[in-house]
């Protein structure tokens, strides 16, 4: 039997993969996280290998390997941009912790995020917490996004 790997979608938007292999075409759809819980789907290992070789879904944090440490390390070894993968895959809880923490650490971590959909996920999470965020953090988020703090959550 073919080994399966659990892939998670941490962002709150949907994502799909159209895989053609072994003479078959299959589609996998992640509906996105809800209430901070990732959407997780088990896919065959050959799909993960195909995604690694033919897409940038791991590099851009669109999908996250949701397995034990041995499997994660093995698959990470095949990802070209591991740093990009790690910098662009945050759970809602991780983002909330970052937003609730030190402003200097927040600024440093925000600089590492390079994917627009991950940036939007951070802003969506911040929008839910905006009443608890200091003006300094709101200004830092606005500067990071390149917009005025007045229109950050519009």
- Measuring CA to CA, which residue among 69, 126, 59 is closest to residue 92? 126
Q: Is the pLDDT of residue 34 over 70?
A: yes
Could you give the CA distance from residue 145 to residue 154 in angstroms, rounded to a whole number? 13
Q: Is the pLDDT of residue 115 over 60?
A: yes
pTM for the predicted model, two decimal places? 0.67
User: What three-state secondary structure class fits 22?
Assistant: coil
Of 16-20, 79-83, 117-121, the least confident: 79-83
Mean pLDDT over the full length of the chain: 87
The confidence score (pLDDT) of residue 1 equals: 45
């Amino acid at each position: 039997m073919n080994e399966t790997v659990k892939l998670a979608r941490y962002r709150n938007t949907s994502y799909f993969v159209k895989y053609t292999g072994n003479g078959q075409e299959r589609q996998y759809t992640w509906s996105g996280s809800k209430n901070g819980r990732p959407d997780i789907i088990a896919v065959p290992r050959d799909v993960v290998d195909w995604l690694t070789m033919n897409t940038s879904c791991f590099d851009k944090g669109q999908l996250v390997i949701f397995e034990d440490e041995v499997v994660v390390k093995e698959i990470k070894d095949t990802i070209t941009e591991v740093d990009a993968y790690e910098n662009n895959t945050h759970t809602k809880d991780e983002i909330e912790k970052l937003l609730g923490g030190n402003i200097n650490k927040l600024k440093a971590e925000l600089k590492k995020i390079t994917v627009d959909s991950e940036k939007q996920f951070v802003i969506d999470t911040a929008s839910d917490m905006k009443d608890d965020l200091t003006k300094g953090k709101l200004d830092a988020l606005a500067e990071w996004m390149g917009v005025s703090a007045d229109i950050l959550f519009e």
